[in-house]
Amino acid sequence: MPELPEVECLRRSLARIVGRRVVRAELFRLDVTSWIGDANDGAAWTGLPPGNEIFALHRRGKQLAIETRGGGVLVIHLGMSGQTLLDSTRVERTHTHACWTLDDGSTLSFRDPRRFGGLWAGRDIQAVENVLWKGLGADALNVTATMIQSVTRASKRAIKSILLDQRVVAGIGNIYADEALFDAGIRPTSRRTLSDTLANRLAASIRSTLNAAITRGGSTLRDYVDASGSAGSAQHLHRVYGRGGECCVSCGGVLRQISFLQRTTVFCPRCQPA
DNA sequence: CTGGATGCCTGGGAGC
DNA sequence: TGCTCCCAGGCATCCA
């Protein structure tokens, strides 16, 4: 569920760890951890090597990278239910898979009940970009009409399938795909090549939908909270997601909910013509 | 090249 | 109240 806006809000809420030195790394579940490329030098997996100073927070699509000075980058993917918490006051220790203590006494922890997410350790940010993020498309905040239009021209894939493909554009999941397509007036199942007008409209819809969600702190449907444990309120902006059978905010017609691409898809039959 | 089906995983909600 | 069932979906993988 955490998509680009939620991960971006998480990134921003972690700003105060920049400049902090890692004191201790504790791992409770090794099976959520991986190495990037040849990063495994035989030492134990720590994600953030103790002794290193955190100096940058990067995001690409739905993935967050915490870079330390002198090498050692931790990449976090929240999957469906992941949380990255700073100084969590909640006693909730269940499903916490890793924890790092910083030199100001604060703790950074990663929880993920469903374990669809994970942690990756890389040598440096170049390794992350060249290996882990190599296949990812442009970040969805920077999507252009051309990027989408060229794919619709080259294939007959449904537009929603294209938007969900992280290799084309990184950061869009089921919620914002439906929201952006509604905003652009395009049916999710459409397989037509997008005209210049529609491609421009869709690119603008994606950017504005994501930015609006970021402004509201992301969408919290159940699990998402930022590093301080605060929920977002962007779910109140949703116009189609989770509203199947309800009235279209634009035309008043009934929103249709279908199963498409093994996902729940909601659209307005009138505002998003086939 | 496609999409469909499946599995991973847990918590929450519905239904009985 | 408590049980079972189903569903949510990001992503990898195999299959048609």
A3 is catalytic: yes
What pLDDT band is residue A66 in, cutting at 50, 70 and 90?
very high
pLDDT at A92: 62
CATH of segment(s) A4-132: 3.20.190.10
Instruction: Answer whether any strand C atom is within 7 A of the Cβ of A264.
Output: yes
Q: How far is the CA of A147 from the C1' of C10 (A)?
A: 22
Q: What is the pLDDT of residues A176-221, one digit of tens each?
A: 999 999 999 999 999 999 999 999 999 999 999 999 999 999 998 8
Instruction: Answer whether any strand C atom is within 7 A of the Cβ of A167.
Output: no
Nucleotides of C under 7 A from a protein CB: 7-11
Tell the residue number behind the tokens 């990663």, with chain if given: A110
What's chain A's average pLDDT? Answer: 92
Burial class (CB in 10 A: 0-12, 13-18, 19+), A12: middle
pLDDT at A87: 85
Any idea where the domains of chain A sit in the sequence? 4-132, 138-267
Instruction: Answer whether any strand C atom is within 7 A of the Cβ of A116.
Output: yes
Cβ atoms of A265 and A175 within 8 Å: the answer is no
pLDDT at A268 over 50: yes
pLDDT at A257 over 60: yes
Would A4-132 and A138-267 be classified into the same CATH topology?
no
pLDDT at A140: 95
Name residue A25's beta-bridge partners.
A100
Q: What is the dihedral of CA A183, A3, A167, A178, to 10 degrees?
A: -30
Q: Please tell me which residue in A256, A263, A269, A270 is annotated as part of the active site.
A: A263
Nucleotides of B under 7 A from a protein CB: 1-12
Q: Please tell me which residue in A3, A6, A8, A179 is annotated as part of the active site.
A: A3
Average pLDDT over residues A62-75: 94
pLDDT at A232: 92
d(CA A112, CA A202): 33
CATH fold for domain A138-267: Helicase, Ruva Protein; domain 3 (1.10.8)
Pull the structure tokens for residue A98: 């890793």
Instruction: Answer whether any strand C atom is within 7 A of the Cβ of A3.
Output: yes
Instruction: Answer whether any strand C atom is within 7 A of the Cβ of A77.
Output: yes
pLDDT at A144: 95
d(CA A163, CA A263): 13
Task: Give chain A as a 3 state SS string.
Answer: CCCHHHHHHHHHHCHHHCCCEEEEEEECCHHHEEECCCCCCCCCCCCCCCCCEEEEEEEECCEEEEEECCCCEEEEECCCCCEEEECCCCCCCCCEEEEEEECCCCEEEEECCCCCCEEEEECCHHHHHHHHCCCCCEEHHHCCHHHHHHHHHHCCCCHHHHHHCCCCEECCCHHHHHHHHHHHCCCCCCCCCCCHHHHHHHHHHHHHHHHHHHHCCCCCCCCCCCCCCCCCCHHHHCCCCCCCCCECCCCCCECEEEEECCEEEEECCCCCCC
pLDDT at A71: 86
pTM recorded for the entire structure:
0.95
Q: What is the pLDDT of residues A228-253, one digit of tens each?
A: 989 999 999 999 999 999 999 999 99
Question: What is the C-alpha end-to-end distance of chain A, expressed in Å?
Answer: 27
Residue nearest to nucleotide B5 (CA to C1'): A262
pLDDT at A91: 46
Cβ atoms of A82 and A112 within 8 Å: the answer is yes
pLDDT at A84: 95
Q: Please tell me which residue in A11, A62, A201, A239 is annotated as part of the active site.
A: A62
A2 is catalytic: yes
A160 is catalytic: no
pLDDT at A89 over 60: no
A6 is catalytic: no
Q: How far is the CA of A116 from the C1' of C9 (A)?
A: 9
Tell the residue number behind the tokens 């086939």, with chain if given: A274
Q: What is the pLDDT of residues A137-164, one digit of tens each?
A: 999 999 999 999 999 999 989 999 999 9
Average pLDDT over residues A82-88: 88
pLDDT at A12 over 70: yes
Q: How far is the CA of A106 from the C1' of C6 (A)?
A: 40
Instruction: Answer whether any strand C atom is within 7 A of the Cβ of A261.
Output: no
Instruction: Answer whether any strand C atom is within 7 A of the Cβ of A173.
Output: yes
